[in-house]
Every structure is written in structure tokens, then in C-alpha cells.
Amino acid sequence: MAELRVGLLGVGQMGRHHARVLRELPGVDLVAIADPGGDPHGVAGSLAVLPDIDALIATGIDMAVVAVPTAFHEAAALTLAEAGVHTLVEKPIAHSVEAGQRMVDAFKAKGLVGAVGHIERFNPALQELRRRIAAGDVGEVYQIATRRQGPFPSRIADVGVAKDLGSHDVDLTAWVAQSPHKTIFAQTMHKSGRDYEDMILATGRLENGIIVNHVVNWLSPMKERVTIVTGERGAYIADTNSGDLTFYANGTFPTEWEYVSAFRGVSEGDVTRFALNKREPLRVEHEAFRDAVLGLRTDVVTMEEGLRTLAVVEGIIESARTGESVEF
């Protein structure tokens, strides 16, 4: 079977990793790279660095990866759709819901695969967590809380922490729970002298009744990527930095300590850290995109799903602006 010809638009901080994985991936051939800013990380190899998207398309590509700043996603995606090229766009899907909707419509009209790079869905800890929740291992799920914080990345200039980092947690929460957000209330802060927010506290509820909480910021000296799912049988903690999944079970033995036994909540039980097959999430994501283009699987993050995530993220920003809860 002939390899799919793939082009990469943007070889910056994230694009360089796409280039590496695409070169390692069976069934695809990275034939073209375009970036008007050149090749700062030296990933082009023997390929010429083309000046723009038109030159990229002219090489005769079947599929493309768009890893340019968010402000340019819409224009690039619409151009690729018009040319009949299946496209994976880095998250968030676009700079606005209206732009994202135009992208969804363009790819749907052409019958093309349009995907969004919400890479956390392909993290081994979260994939196993979703499987175990669906199997009922934790019983009824009560709450999902996420923490995503760390230092400010100087490469991000066109969006705030809500769209850059918060979109990860909004998407993974709805995906793990298999239920979209219904309401959200948020507060934000601006402390780094930029036009955009750099700290978020958001709380809400999913359509299936699970309450959620998202802590996101660019103001922490420690990097943290944690998802905690609390249910009737215990709590799962997924650390997507390390790909680890741990289960803290509710205690099953009665306590004879009078002071503690008076408490009517749960007690501490066994702690289990699961051994997982830890494959690189970006590679798994590209395998899914490749297979979707071939018509073999459907577990990519579709542009429709990316648009829903963006709507919730914009709801977070709107809620912080107005002081009111937003309903979807």
C-alpha cells in the first residue's frame, strides 16, 4: 500500500515534535515542511523549508499537520480543505467559536477528515482511566478535578492560559466522563503584564451530573498535570506528566479507634498503582489520524469535538468577565 504523503505547516516548539514522529510513523511519508520563519530547531533535514501553505499544497500532499499559532489556524485549515487535504490542527481548534465553526463546515462539505490535536486523550493514564470508569470500577462518579499549572511559556503570544492549557482539561474531562460540560463558573487573573489571563479557577457540572473543577495557571514554578476522579468506591489519580494511574480505594475494614469511627464518611483503603504500556501520546495521536484518513478507525478528536471544547473555554472567559455562570 502506498504511503500517505504528509505536509507539516510550522516547525516551532510543537512542530519539531510532529516532524520527528511523522518520520517514525509507518504508512506516512513526510514530504514537505513549510514555515515562513524558517527552521529554528533544524528538523527539516533534507527537505527544503517552503515559504507558505500554497507551496506546501503544491507538493501533492494527502494530509497535513498545522502547528502554527492559534490565530492562523482558520486560514490554514480553510485553504487545506479547499485543496482536499485531510488535516490535523493543533489545539485549540481556532481563535474563536465562529472561526472553528467555519472550519467544521469546510471539512464536512468536502468529506475530509478534520481533527484537533488534543493530545491528552492519547495519554496512557487517561486512556486507562476512561476504560475503568466506563467499566464501573469506581462505581458512580461524583467529581472530576484537574490541576494544570507551571511557568509561563514565552512562545505563547496570541492566547491566554484558558485556550492554551485550559482547553486540555475541558476536553479530557468531558472525554473521560463521556459527558460534555453543562455549566461553568470561573474567575481569572492577569498578573504577568500580558493582555490575556494567566490564572483560572473554574467550576461546573457535566450533563450527566458530575461536578468538575479546573485549576489552571502559568504562574507556578512547579509543573503539574493531574486529574482526580472521585467516586463511590474510591478515587483515581492520573498524572499525565509521568503517565501514571493510581487508585485509592475506600476502606473496607471497620475501625476500632473511637475518635475516627465516629466519622461518617469513607476511610482509607488499599492504594494500587497500575502498570501501563506507556507509548508516546503524540505517536498514538498520529496513528489515529493516519488510520482515520484510511477509514480504519474513528477515535481522532474531531473538529466538532474541538469546537465544543472551545465553546466551553470561551464560556470560562465570559464567566470571569461577567461574574455569571455560563450554560451550554
Q: Would you write out the chain's pLDDT as a tens digit for each of its 328 residues?
A: 579 999 999 999 899 999 999 999 999 999 999 999 999 999 999 999 999 999 999 999 999 999 999 999 999 999 999 999 999 999 999 999 999 999 999 999 999 999 999 999 999 999 999 999 999 999 999 999 999 999 987 776 678 999 999 999 999 999 999 999 999 999 999 988 888 999 999 999 999 999 999 999 999 999 999 999 999 999 999 999 999 999 999 987 665 656 555 555 688 889 999 999 999 999 999 999 999 999 998 899 999 999 999 999 999 999 999 999 999 9
Residue 206: strand, helix, or coil: strand
The owner of cell 489515529 is 288
pLDDT score, position 54? 98
Q: Where are the beta strands (DSSP E) in the chain?
A: 4-9, 28-34, 49-50, 63-66, 86-90, 114-117, 141-151, 181-189, 199-206, 211-217, 219-231, 234-239, 244-250, 268-273, 326-327
> Scanning the structure block, which residue is given the C-alpha cell 462505581?
139
In DSSP notation, 244-313 reads EEEEEEEP-S----HHHHT--S--EEEEEE-------HHHHHHHHHHHHHTTS---S-BHHHHHHHHHHH
Q: Closest Cα to residue 204, out of 238, 159, 174, 239?
A: 174
- What grid cell was written down for 10? 510550522
Count of alpha carbons within 13 angstroms of residue 142, beta-carbon side = 7
CA 230 to chain centre: 21
Nearest alpha carbon to residue 227 among 190, 290, 176? 176
Please give the Cα distance from 206 to 103 (Å, whole number): 26
Q: At residue 138, what are phi and psi to the nearest 5 degrees?
A: -100, 5
Q: How distant, in Å, are the alpha carbons of 19, 112, 126, 207, 246 from that of 277?
A: 24, 32, 12, 32, 14
The Cα-based distances of 9 to 69, 281, 286, 327 in angstroms read: 10, 20, 15, 36
In this prediction, residue 74 carries a pLDDT of: 98
Question: How does DSSP classify residue 165?
Answer: I
pLDDT at 159: 84
